[in-house]
Amino acid sequence: MSTTALKLAMVTVDTDDALGLSNWWRDAFDATVLEENEGWFVVLSLGEGSPLLAFQKVDDPTPGKNRIHLDVVAEDRAATVQKLVDAGATLIAEREMPGMSWVTLADPAGNEFC
């Protein structure tokens, strides 16, 4: 890797409840909390080799569809989707195109992910 190559280190989500939303994602990923910073900036570790996931408290999160979203994978998609919905996610749509299918959900703060 060249010294100018980028490497993804962290994905940060703006929210009006950084602690609450980070706890939801912590449970979804079975992640470890690295920093809480009194609830205004929470950092999760998803495990070695994965980027960090952070939640930043802001007064006015961007409304509407997020410009960046998480794409996650699971061995048992149906069971994982049900687990996330039971924990507070919203099922947005089940989508399909030739050779590919996915499910779009939103976390409790309305951030979409697939």
Three-class HEC string of 57-95 = ECCCCCCCCCCCCECCCCCCHHHHHHHHHHCCCEEEEEE
Give the C-alpha distances (Å, rounded to integers) separating 66 from 35, 77, 94, 106. Answer: 24, 23, 18, 10
* In the predicted structure, residue 65 carries a pLDDT above the cut 90: no
Model's pTM, two decimal places?
0.84
Residue pLDDT, tens place only, 39-57:
999 999 999 999 999 999 9
pLDDT, residue 2, reads 59
pLDDT tens for 75-84 read 999 999 999 9
Q: What pLDDT is recorded for position 3?
A: 62
How would residue 62 be classed by pLDDT, with cut points 50, 70 and 90?
A: confident
